[in-house]
Amino acid sequence: MSLPLVDLPRELDGRNVLVVPHGADVVVLATAWFPDATWVREPVSVDDAARSRPMTGARFRGIASAVAEPSPGLLRLNGAASLEGPIPAGPSTARTTGLVVPAVDLYALVPADPRASLDLVYGWMAAAARRVAGSIVPADRAHAVVVPDPGAAVDLTLWSAMPLSAQDALPLVRPAMTGARVGPTDVPHPQQSEGTPGPPTFSVTATFEYDGAVTVRTGRSSEVPVALSRLDWREFGPWSYHVTWIPPEPEELRQEHPSQLHLIARSRVEPSVARIAAALWRAVGGTVVDSGGFIVTPGELQDRATARR
């Protein structure tokens, strides 16, 4: 069976292309994995180009000014690759690349060294596409467009400077676990290293009748997600609160097309995961990061939490 034709500009033939909804902030996505990502060449949008056009009329005659043309920028990710874009495209391109939006921005991958490994870059492209409900067009057009499931990133982790004991945490998270049987699964758990300040780590599990279980597990680490490295040190800390969903059939987490029952359970559990993370955040502060390594703002956390079970 032949694959549907992808409507892309000809200059992108033979290139891996990240497709995102128009206006998506790719720099924010890039710095979550590549903290030194930066524009080597700034993009010039249609609006920017229009503002640079010379003023007309007798009073401006003889005044010279540079005229910019719309052009894509070059965003350096790391030493292995950059992205060229954005290249704006309309509904036809959006539709053929798997997106249901009126307009998209295209970013073409530009390898810096053909011998360098691009595994990390490819992993980021998939995570970024999932984060903003985008897609990836492979360089080999014989392969299908990759449209990661944005709903698959359910798990959340709060990174805070303040530890909580199991006795303090349980009253906070129990109201967020509505409809579940809540009980400690490992309270307390000894610290991994002797002499580490703070209360013992612990985990608590909420078991739902049909939707699997949600586990809250604490820890302490000297390594934090890359996305936090650009924040003020007071906005996060070494104490982690991992909120994880364990579906009724855990192997479906690794399937590209899980069953309808899995999707239904996921949609019902996701608000509980967000409510737990929000309750912990209100108590100890810090910053929430999703399973793709991207920062979840308090506003987004609230949006996730307000959906009904």
Q: Domains of the chain by range and CATH?
A: 10-147 (no CATH), 152-306 (3.30.310)
Which residue has better confidence, 113 or 43? 43
pLDDT-derived band at 199 (thresholds 50, 70, 90) equals confident
pLDDT of the residue at 20: 98
- CA–CA separation, 89 and 44 (whole Å): 15
Q: Does 193 have pLDDT greater than 50?
A: no
- Burial (Cβ within 10 Å: 0-12, 13-18, ≥19) of residue 62: exposed
Both structure tokens of 229 = 């490295």
Look over the chain and give the mean of its residue pLDDT values, rounded to a whole number.
88
* Of 179 and 110, more confident: 110
* pLDDT for 267: 95
CB 154 within 8 A of CB 269: yes
Per-residue pLDDT, 170: 87
pTM: 0.86
- Tens-place pLDDT, residues 236-252: 999 999 999 999 999 99
Q: What three-state secondary structure class fits 87? A: strand
Sheet holding 201-208, edge to edge: 180-189, 201-208, 212-220, 239-246, 156-160, 287-290, 295-296
User: What is the pLDDT at residue 201?
Assistant: 85
Query: What is the mean pLDDT of the segment spanning 164-178?
Result: 86
CA angle, 263 then 6 then 103, to 5°: 70
**Residue of higher predicted confidence among 274 and 173:** 274
Angstrom distances, CA of residue 4 to CA of 65, 89, 249:
46, 18, 33
Q: Taking 90 as the threshold, does the pLDDT of residue 179 lie above it?
A: no
Q: Can you give the pLDDT at residue 154?
A: 96
Q: Which secondary structure element, helix H or strand E, spans residue 268, and what is its range?
A: helix 260-284
Tell me the C-alpha distance between 142 and 124, whole Å: 22
